[in-house]
A and B are shown apart, each in its own frame.
Chain A
C-alpha cells in the first residue's frame, strides 16, 4: 500500500504546485508591456493552435510578455465560449476565428479595434475585416484530396472540379464532413454554394446528385481522413476526402522515411478559401501587451513558423515557405470564396437545409 501511495502523493503534490501557478494571469494587474516588465497574457484559441517553443520564447524575451495558452475546443466552440463570457473574457487575445465565423464575432462586439502596421503587407484577399477588429494571420484552402495510387491503379484521372465529383464513375468514392459539426465540412458546403448559387436549383440540386452518387458523411475531419479515406495515413476505402491543400505536405513530413512524392493529391477546382484571424478581446486588462502579441502574430518569425506548426499558409507577403510546402502543397489559383457577411447571414439556414437534405 505504501509503495503505491508514495508516488501518487508525489503526483498530487506536483499537480497542486502546478495548479498554484495557474492563476497568475488573474492576479497580475500590470497593464503596460514595456520590455522587461513582466506581464502574462492569455491566448484563447482552438485545439489546433501550435507555435514553436523557440519562436514564442523569443517573443517573451524581447517583450517581457509571457503567453498562457487556453484551449477551448474547435473554432466554433471556442468562439461561442468567447461570446458567452463577453465582458469577463477568458483571454486577452483570441486566435482562430475564420471567415466562416467572423461576422458572428463582429456582430457580438467581441474585439477591440487594432490595425497592426504589418497589415499593409497582407494581400487584399485576406484583409476581410475593413473595420480592423480582427487581424488576418493565416490562410488555408479546404479542397478534395485524392489517393494517387487508387486512381493510378484504376487507370482513371482524379477529379479536378466539383462537377467531376458527381460523375457516375466516381460513385461511392467521396467522404465529406458534416457542416453541422466540422469546419472543413462547412467550408466544402460553402464552396458548392459559391459555385452553384443558393436555392433548390443551386447547391441543393448539386448535393442531391452527390447523395445519389454515394457520398459518405462523417462527423469530423479525424474520422473522415483517418477512418474513411484510403490515401496516405487513412485506413479506409474511399479514395476521395475533403481535407486541406496542405495535407499532402503533412503526409510527406510525417512519414518515416520521407517518400520522394506525396501519396495524395489535391483537386484544385474544389477549394474554398479559409482565413484565420486574431482579435483583442474587449475587457482585457492588458491591452498594450495584447497589441504587441497581435503584432507578433503577423511578424516574420511567427509567419515563417506557421506552415510546419499548423499546416496552413502565412498571409504576409514574401514570407519564405519550407521546402516540403513549395514541393508538395497545392496553391489553387482561384479558390471559391464568399464574403463573411454573406456567410454570417445564411450559415445557420444553409446548415439546417443541408441536414434535411443529406444528414
Chain B
C-alpha cells in the first residue's frame, strides 16, 4: 500500500497535468467562442429561436438524424471491428488503415462519388454518407480496445456451454462497453454537427444546426440568431456528454488488458473463415464502392484509360500563383498534420490521465469541456478566433499556426476518448504494488500506465492525423494564408468548369487517399513494434 504522502504527491501530479489542456482550452476555445457568442447574445433571441417552427424543425432533425446515423454506423462497422480485433487474415492491416480514408475525404468529393452511385440527394444519401464517414471511428476505437481484451474469459464461457451469441452478449459486450460508449459519443458528435454532407446532399430541404449557424454567421452575419443557435447546440452536446460520462463511470472497471498482438488468431473452422470473409468483403464493398468511383475517374482522362490527369497535375496551365505542385500540397498537408497531432497529444494525453483517475463533478465538467469543440459549430470557433485572438502575442489571424491549432482542437477529443477507457482499465493494484516497491508516482505511471496507454495513444494519433489531413474544424471558413493543402487544392479544381479540372480533382483525391493509408499504416506499424515488448 502506498503511503498518504505518495497519494498526495500523485494527486498533485495529476492536477498539474490538467493545467496544459485547461490552458489550451481556455485560450483556443472558451475565449473565442465566449467572445463571439457574447457579441451576439441576447435572451430575446433564444425566445425567437424557440418560437420559430423552422428552427425547431432544424434542431429536431439535427438530433434524430444523429441518433439514426450513430446506430447505423455501429450496425455496419461493429462486425468489422470484431474481425479486425480477433482474427488474423490477409489484408487485415490494410483494412484497418483503409477505413480511415472516407474520414479524411472532403464532403464535396464524397458527394460526387455518391452521386455517381445514384445516391444524389436526400435523407438516404445523408445517412449513407454519415455511415461511410464515421465507420472508421467504430472500427478503430472499438476494434483497438477489443484486441486488448483477454479472450480467455470468453473462451471459458464457451467451454462452460454458452453459445457464441450468449458469450458475446454476456462476457464480451460488457467488457467492451467503455470503448463502445467512447466511439458512440464521437460518432454522435460528428454527425450531430455534420456540415458539408448535410449542406450538399441535404440542399435545400434538410439542415442541421451547424449548417444554419454557418448560414447565419458566414452568410448573413446575424450574430444574434447565431449566438442563440450556438447556445442551443452546445447545451444539447453538453447534456449528451454528461449522460455519456455517467454511463461510462458505471461500466468502466479495471480489467486485464493484454498486448493485442497475441490475441488475434487465424480463423480455424470453415464457419469462422466464411464469417471473416463475408464481413471483410461486405465492409470493403460498402466503404470501397464510393472510393473506387473516384479512383477509376482519376485514371480515365477524357473517357479513356491513362495517367493524363496525373500528368496534368504537375504542369501549371495558367502560370497562376495558385498553381500547386501536388508534392507541395502533400507536404503542406503532412506538415500541418504532424503539428496538429503533436499538439493534440500534448493536450489530450495529460487530460486523459486526469480524467481516468478522478471522478468528481469538476473532472466531469472538464471532460465535457474538452469534448465540446467537437460538437460546436466550426464557423463559431473560426469567427471567434478572428474577434478574440486579435492582440499580440496571440494575434494568430492570418498566421499558418492557426490551421494546426484549429485541427488540434478537433483532434484532442479523440485522444481523450480513446485513452480514457484504456487508462481506466489499468489494474489499480499494479500501481499500488509499484508504490509499495518504492516507485515514484511518475515512475509508476511510466512503467505501468504508459505501456498500456501507448497503444491507445497511437490509435489516437492516427485519428488526430486524419482529422488534420481532412481539414476538419474551423480552418475552412476563416482567413488563412495561402498554404494550399490537398483538400484546398481539390476545392480549387472543383471550382471551375472543364474536364481537366474535374479529372485533376479526382487524381488529387486519389493521392489524398494514398497519403492517408500510408500515414495510418506507418502509425500502425510503429504501434506493433512498440507493443511487442510487453
Asked whether any CB of chain A lies closer than 8 Å to the CB of B236, the reply is no
A11 engages B203 (CB within 8 Å): no
Chain A 249-268: CB-based contact to B (< 8 A → 1; otherwise 0) = 01101111100000010000
Asked whether any CB of chain B lies closer than 8 Å to the CB of A333, the reply is no
Asked whether any CB of chain A lies closer than 8 Å to the CB of B275, the reply is no
Which chain B residue has the least Cβ–Cβ distance from A248? B497
B331 engages A11 (CB within 8 Å): yes
* Given contact pairs A54-B319, A69-B321, A71-B480, A80 touches B221 in the complex (Cβ within 8 A): yes
Interface size on A, residues (CB 8 A): 77
Q: What residues on A are CB-neighbors of B480 within 8 Å?
A: 70-72
B302 engages A309 (CB within 8 Å): no
Provide the main secondary structure of the chain B interface.
helix
A76 engages B400 (CB within 8 Å): no
Asked whether any CB of chain B lies closer than 8 Å to the CB of A25, the reply is yes
B335 engages A235 (CB within 8 Å): no
A22 engages B401 (CB within 8 Å): yes
* Given contact pairs A12-B338, A14-B331, A85-B387, A178 touches B495 in the complex (Cβ within 8 A): no
B497 engages A243 (CB within 8 Å): yes
Q: What residues on A are CB-neighbors of B317 within 8 Å?
A: 253-254
Give residues of chain A (124-181) contacting chain B, Cβ–Cβ below 8 Å: 178, 180-181
B107-115, B147-155, B345-353 - interface stretch: B107-115
Distance between A79 CB and nearest chain B CB, rounded to angstroms: 8
Chain A 32-53: CB-based contact to B (< 8 A → 1; otherwise 0) = 0000000000101001111111
Contact partner of A247 among B316, B383, B497, CB < 8 A? B497
Contact partner of B499 among A26, A69, A233, CB < 8 A? A233
Asked whether any CB of chain B lies closer than 8 Å to the CB of A320, the reply is no
Which chain B residue has the least Cβ–Cβ distance from A23? B399
Distance between A333 CB and nearest chain B CB, rounded to angstroms: 23
Asked whether any CB of chain A lies closer than 8 Å to the CB of B478, the reply is yes
Asked whether any CB of chain A lies closer than 8 Å to the CB of B476, the reply is yes
Contact partner of A256 among B200, B219, B301, B523, CB < 8 A? B301
* Given contact pairs A15-B335, A47-B495, A255-B499, A70 touches B112 in the complex (Cβ within 8 A): no
Contact partner of A309 among B308, B320, B399, B477, CB < 8 A? B320
Asked whether any CB of chain A lies closer than 8 Å to the CB of B334, the reply is yes
Q: Bound complex: CA of A91 vs CA of B342, how far in Å? A: 30
B-side residues, CB < 8 A to A, are 108, 111-112, 115-116, 120, 199-200, 203-205, 215, 217-221, 301-302, 308, 312, 316-323, 331-332, 334-336, 338-339, 342, 383, 386-387, 390, 392, 395, 397-401, 476-483, 491-492, 494-502, 522-523, 525-526, 529-530
Q: Could you list some 29 contacts between A and B, CB below 8 A?
A: A1-B529, A8-B334, A15-B335, A15-B339, A22-B400, A26-B392, A26-B395, A56-B321, A69-B482, A70-B479, A80-B221, A80-B383, A81-B478, A81-B479, A84-B383, A180-B219, A217-B204, A223-B203, A227-B112, A232-B499, A233-B497, A233-B498, A233-B499, A233-B501, A254-B499, A255-B500, A256-B301, A256-B302, A264-B497
Known contacts A22-B399, A256-B312; 9 further A-B pairs (Cβ under 8 A): A18-B483, A22-B400, A80-B383, A85-B390, A219-B200, A219-B203, A222-B494, A226-B494, A309-B320
